[in-house]
Amino acid sequence: MARHFWAVEALSALAHDTRLRVFRLLVQAGAEGMTAGAIAAAVDVPASTMSHHIATLERAGLAQSERESRMIHYRADYDGMRRLLSFLIEDCCQQRPEMCADLVSAMACKP
């Protein structure tokens, strides 16, 4: 199996329009996360289909779930996101950080 199979799986999960929209929505939702029903309503996808998309994101290490009573809250897995972003840009600087300065500043969180 490929050394970076996890990156291929994460990129494959994000290569679907609905899953990319869900992932971005979860990133925006922050630590509070969202329920599957709220996610489904926000991206206008049937709840029965949404569980498949969220499970794919979870397997790819890009989302997490937590049961709270009868509700399940889904959140972006920020560690997984950082791991993927780091992997994608790890060779961009060619040992010269100034080459990627604009990329790093573009990724910086803005107030």
Residue 111 has pLDDT above 60, yes or no: no
pLDDT tens, position by position, 16-44: 999 999 999 999 999 999 999 999 999 99
Long-range contacts of 90-97 (CB under 8 A, 24+ apart): none
- 1-12 mean pLDDT: 86
Residue 94 has pLDDT above 60, yes or no: yes
Structure tokens, 53: 């998309």
Q: How is the chain split into domains, by residue range?
A: 5-107
Residue 1 has pLDDT above 60, yes or no: no
pLDDT of residue 20: 97
The gap from C-alpha 69 to its chain's centroid, in whole angstroms, comes to 25
pLDDT of residue 40: 94
CATH number, domain 5-107, options 1.10.10.10, 1.10.10.920, 3.30.70.20, 3.30.70.3040: 1.10.10.10
pLDDT of residue 2: 67
The gap from C-alpha 42 to its chain's centroid, in whole angstroms, comes to 16
